[in-house]
Amino acid sequence: MKSISQSMQGFSDRTKVQKQLMAVKSKVLSHPDWKAFYQAHPYITEEMIERSLPRLLEYVEGTKDCKGCQDVAHCHNMIKGYEPELFINGGIIDITYNRCRSKEENDELEKLQSLIKSYFIPRDILSATFDQFDKKDTERYQATLKAAKFVESVSDPDIEAKGLYIHGSFGVGKTFLMGAIANALAKKKIQTMLVYTPDFFREMKTSIGDQTVDEKLDVIKKAPVLVLDDIGAESMSSWVRDEILGSILQYRMMEKLPTCYTSNYDYDELEEHLAYSQKAGIEQLKAKRIMERIKHFTTPVNLNGANRRVN
């Protein structure tokens, strides 16, 4: 038989639980979103509310105001990027989670950027857009117009698109413009491969040892749109020029795949660079063959101005 003190303790515990439940219920029923939901569903009974209290509490505690949200990274919702929504599920009130506007935009951006592949390209370049170029800067703006025209030609199956050869001094935005091209093409569901040429050539040399040269070369050769960034900045060897670069350009010429370039050199200066290798000396004929493939399938764009990398 329980003592009086034990019985009183049990009563006290039940009273405490009842008070907690009443507090939860009061919190739920006073929430403005619940009031709106209840008005839209007048057939909801007290019994349904009682059975649904745990889910309703999850809803009111997880509901946040998304109006002032900047992006998914700053989301305050319990599940980032998802807004809770109440619905009737049989005899209870349940919750479903829907993607918010920021989450939808973020997912779409990730989907687009999955169409942009890169080797050794800084991440900020992969999010570049044409809108980020100042229209008041005449030279850069003219370059963006040519870039936009290239995007349109690539997306038109009736046009054999010529690539772009964007050359100019350091830090003027050549690579950034290529990133904008890649993003514009991604919106048209066209994949682009951006390659920082000096690092890629170095990797190809080290790949001789593990016999992965052909495998890596195939990925670059077959890209629907290829960007060779900063060509001419590498230390040239006859093997890189003839077996790597020559192989890439020959395949893409045969398959009519557009290739774009950025360089600090114009056509003539790049030809001079390609002609010289430390071991073989000057090989003008081989350099000229490479340059003929570049010149014939690209439109030169001279991009100059202030160095944007200087603070």
pLDDT by residue for the chain (311 residues), tens only, comes to 454 444 444 545 667 767 777 887 888 888 888 888 889 998 989 898 888 888 888 888 776 666 667 677 677 777 777 888 899 998 899 988 888 877 777 777 666 556 677 777 888 888 899 988 877 788 888 999 999 999 999 999 888 899 999 999 988 899 999 999 999 999 898 999 999 999 999 989 888 888 888 888 998 999 999 999 999 998 888 999 999 999 999 999 999 999 999 999 999 999 999 998 767 678 999 999 999 999 999 999 999 876 666 54
The predicted structure's pLDDT at residue 8: 41
What's the sign of the alpha-carbon dihedral 170, 172, 178, 180?
positive
The predicted structure's pLDDT at residue 185: 93
Superfamily of domain 114-302: P-loop containing nucleotide triphosphate hydrolases (3.40.50.300)
H, E, C per residue of the chain? CCCHHHHHHHHHHHHHHHHHHHHHHHHHHCCHHHHHHHHHCCCCCHHHHHHCHHHHHHHHHHCCCCCCCCCHHHCCCCCCCEEEEEEEECCEEEEEEEECHHHHHHHHHHHHHCCEEEECCCHHHHHCCHHHCCCCCHHHHHHHHHHHHHHHHHCCCCCCCCEEEEECCCCCCHHHHHHHHHHHHHHCCCCEEEEEHHHHHHHHHHHHHHCCHHHHHHHHHCCCEEEEECCCCCCCCHHHHHHHHHHHHHHHHHHCCCEEEEECCCHHHHHHHHHEECCCEECHHHHHHHHHHHHHCEEEEECCCCCCCCC
The residue ranges of every structural domain in the chain are: 15-103, 114-302
Is 227 within 8 Å of 193 (Cβ atoms)? yes
| Residue in this structure with the two tokens 């016999």, named with its chain if needed | 211
